[in-house]
Structure 1
Amino acid sequence: MKIAVIGGTGLIGSQVVKNLSTAGHEAVPHSKSTGVDIIGGQGLDEAVAGAGVVVNLTNSPTFDEASLAFFRTSMDNLLAAARRGGVGHFVILSIVGVDQVPELDYYRAKALQEKILVAGPIPYSIVRATQFMDFMDAVLSWTADADTVRLPATPIQPIASEDVADAVAEVAVGAPLNGIRNIAGPEVFPLDELGRITLSHKGDSRTVVTDPTAGMFAAVKGDVLTDKNARLAPTHYADWLS
């Protein structure tokens, strides 16, 4: 099967392409570097031509209000090209709890992406993942200074990017879900505790201060970024760190 992976050169996309290719599928990565512009529309018809499945793993360059326009335009363009090309299955990667954090512009933008897909003309699948283990360093950097890192105690259920790629590839070759599949890591941590574990593993002597107002995840109420009923991935955080 030919599968067009839009955003196929990124963290998740490159792994999805590798997984699909190893399984014997014709997985073709597309991105700006290959001449595909999902905002301007250039190269989209060629990218999806002959593909039975489109997997959209592109991401907004910003997390602010501009991300709403990015997902609206990119999804409109991709769905139109996929319809013209006769694509039978459209897959996106989203976030567990994305529709429950309207305070965050980026989460509202990802929720909009889902709504556009659901309302579109093509059978679809949405894979929602919890927070990537791979992004923990970035999370620490948002609220760090020379001596401390400030983090809220928001419950997080981190998942390895490799496990996310496995799940996306599995969904891509299956029948359209016309719904959502949640995937999550096997353990839940308060974000501040996850920060302490990460710094300790790295030999970083900075202190993690629990601050309910610090960083993007301060806007998250309760445990909406976790899901005990999700399909649990195999990789534990300690093993991933090692």
Structure 2
Amino acid sequence: MKKLKVHYFQHIAGEGFGSCYDYLKAMGAEITATEFFALPTDSTIDIDALPLVSDVDLLIIMGGEMSVNDEANYPWLKIEKRWIRRYLASEKPAIGLCLGGQLIANALGANVKRNPQQEIGWTLVNKSNHIPEAYFQLPEELKVMQWHSETFDIPKGAIRLAENTACANQMYQIGRNVLGFQFHPEITPHSLNIFIEHEEEDCVFKEAYTQSLSSLKKTQKLEYSMGNQLLNRAIDYVLQV
């Protein structure tokens, strides 16, 4: 039986692959990564340094602190988006998480801009109305981890799956094989601690829809499970192309 080849794009040092690592390993997946965070901010890479599209069965694009629009400071973003477009043209499965969801949308021509509200912490997200039955189905309400200042427009040809009052576009689907998240279903205690450490150093979030770092440090293990299970279902869904 052919091994599932999963590749992920990582933008934060130490973040790892999130909650779905064990799930994919249990499926016998071979997991590889491109670590963009390891590149000097003033450097670029050749697109041929990235994997061959034919060598990837599932692409997962992780979050990050940079903006998709900040190509001047992160010139490799242009190459990453070019590769994403090439990959999506193959109609293979892809999942984007926060920055990853923004990168997929932007690679397809959608605008990524400052959201009216910054979101940080555990918030509620609602399933959008009138989602056709053939699309990925969500619970009516989800408690998820948010960590963003910007947001994506829904790409042309996509459908919005989730929303809330702070940020209209929380999740989208393209075709049968691509899911983009604004939130972090992959969050684990380890990755949350990294997010908190970065925020304590940089003090980026100051607006209304934020949860205090002190309360986030007290997050109970059960709170991670809804998002983690959603991501596992999302993986199953896009792989059934």
The TM-score bracket by the shorter chain reads 0.3 to 0.5
TM-score for the superposition, normalised by structure 1: 0.45
More helix by share: 1
More strand by share: 2
TM-score for the superposition, normalised by structure 2: 0.45
Q: Indicate the structure (1 or 2) with the bigger Cα radius of gyration.
A: 1
